[in-house]
């Protein structure tokens, strides 16, 4: 049985990748809540019994069609969203790895509207808003 993402009883673990090529970083525009319509790192929820590294590789392949090589742990952060009444609507613990593309061709699934390679300056401005 899948756990509820909205108003969860426990935090959910999300696995993502900061994929770089040269001096560019790959982002996707989210098609689902939370953060629908915003640029984000590709990734998704870790399945029960799945390691976080395996989940990261799987999610990028499912979401984008890319094979990646994980190069190291980048960050572990909380992503908590509250509703208008102050209740926790979403709570994710996000584990992010630095990764490089190893093969495949970008083919987005329904979770993303578009993708783009961003320069470091562009990435800073995207996440500053």
Residues 14-51 have pLDDT tens digits of 999 999 999 999 999 988 887 789 899 999 999 999 99
Which of 33, 67, 71, 114 is the catalytic position?
114
Angstrom CA distances, 122 to 25, 30, 94, 115, 127, stand at 9, 17, 22, 14, 9
Residues 89-115 pLDDT 10s = 999 999 999 999 999 888 888 888 899
Q: Which domains does the chain have, with CATH numbers?
A: 12-128 (3.90.79.10)
Strand partners, 39: 29
Contact 26, 42 (CB under 8 A): yes
Question: Is 114 annotated as catalytic?
Answer: yes
Instruction: Indicate the pTM of the whole model.
Output: 0.86
The predicted pLDDT at position 2 comes to 61
């Amino acid at each position: 049985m899948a756990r509820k993402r909205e108003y969860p009883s426990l935090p959910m673990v999300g696995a993502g990748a900061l994929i770089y090529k040269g001096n560019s970083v790959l982002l996707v525009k989210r098609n689902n809540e939370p953060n629908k319509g915003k640029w984000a790192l590709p990734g998704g929820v870790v399945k029960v019994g799945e390691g976080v590294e395996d989940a990261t590789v799987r999610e990028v392949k499912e979401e984008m069609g890319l094979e990646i090589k994980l190069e190291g742990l980048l960050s572990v952060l909380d992503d908590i969203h509250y509703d208008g009444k102050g209740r926790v609507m979403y709570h994710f613990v996000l584990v992010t790895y630095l990764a490089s593309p190893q093969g495949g061709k970008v083919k987005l699934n329904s979770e993303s509207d578009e993708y783009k390679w961003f320069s470091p300056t562009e990435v800073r401005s995207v996440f500053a808003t």
